[in-house]
Amino acid sequence: MKITHAFRFEAAHWLPHVPPTHRCRNMHGHTYRAEVTLSGKVRDDGMVADFYELEAAMMPVLAQLDHATLNEVMENPTAENIAAWIAERLALPQLASVRVYENPDCWAEWERER
């Protein structure tokens, strides 16, 4: 069974490793959506995990990202690197994936290796 909780944050960034003519080389912002998925057996209480506990684990992570310049948080803030950065900071043994959307049509997804 899997459960997913979605979170939103606002942040600015630029991509330092793209060519100088690439539009994302310039500072710009996104309304990001991060989806955190946990996977496991359903417990006796009927849940894989408590959504409240997942939210509590994510709040300190979001505090570092929301209304931040992501280049000050990580060296190369691509959607892929943001998803991995979030996953590294969540101490959740049931963490299955982190999906980060830069817009409704583009996302990157980190998945736990099996």
Please enumerate, as own/partner, the contacts of 21-28 that have beta carbons within 8 Å and a separation of 24 or more: 27/69
24 tagged catalytic = yes
Given the residues 5, 24, 80, 109, select the one marked as catalytic: 24
**63-to-32, 67, 98, 102 alpha-carbon distances in Å:** 13, 9, 17, 18
Given the residues 22, 55, 67, 111, select the one marked as catalytic: 67
Dig out the tokens for 18 from the structure.
Answer: 């793209």
Q: Tell me the catalytic residues.
A: 24, 67, 102
